[in-house]
Amino acid sequence: MRRNKFDWLLVRVMRCVGIRSPDEYRQEARHHSDWPENPEEFCGKYWEGWDVLLATHVTRRFYPFDQLLIQVSKDKVDSREKYYQRCLECILWPMNPQTAYPNEWPGWNEFFQMASLIRLHEGNTNDDPVHLARIGARS
Reduce the DSSP state of residue 73 to 3 states and report it.
helix
pLDDT in tens, the chain (139 residues): 457 898 888 888 888 877 889 999 999 999 998 999 999 999 999 998 898 888 765 666 889 999 999 999 999 999 999 999 999 888 889 999 998 899 999 999 999 999 988 887 665 555 565 655 555 555 5
Q: Each residue of 99-129: b (16+ CB within 10 Å) or e?
A: bbbeeeebeeeebbbbbbbbbebeeeeeeeb
pLDDT of residue 1: 45
Q: CA-based angle 133:105:60, to the nearest 5?
A: 120
pTM for this one?
0.61
pLDDT of residue 117: 87
- Name every residue whose Cβ is closer than 8 Å to that of residue 71 and which is 6 or more positions away in sequence: 63, 90, 92, 93
8 A C-beta contact, residue 31 and residue 96:
yes
Reduce the DSSP state of residue 42 to 3 states and report it.
helix
Taking the CA of residue 85 as centre, how many other CA atoms within 13 Å lie in the half-sphere pointing to its CB?
8
DSSP 81-117: HHHHHHHHH-TTS-S-HHHHSTTT---HHHHHHHHHH
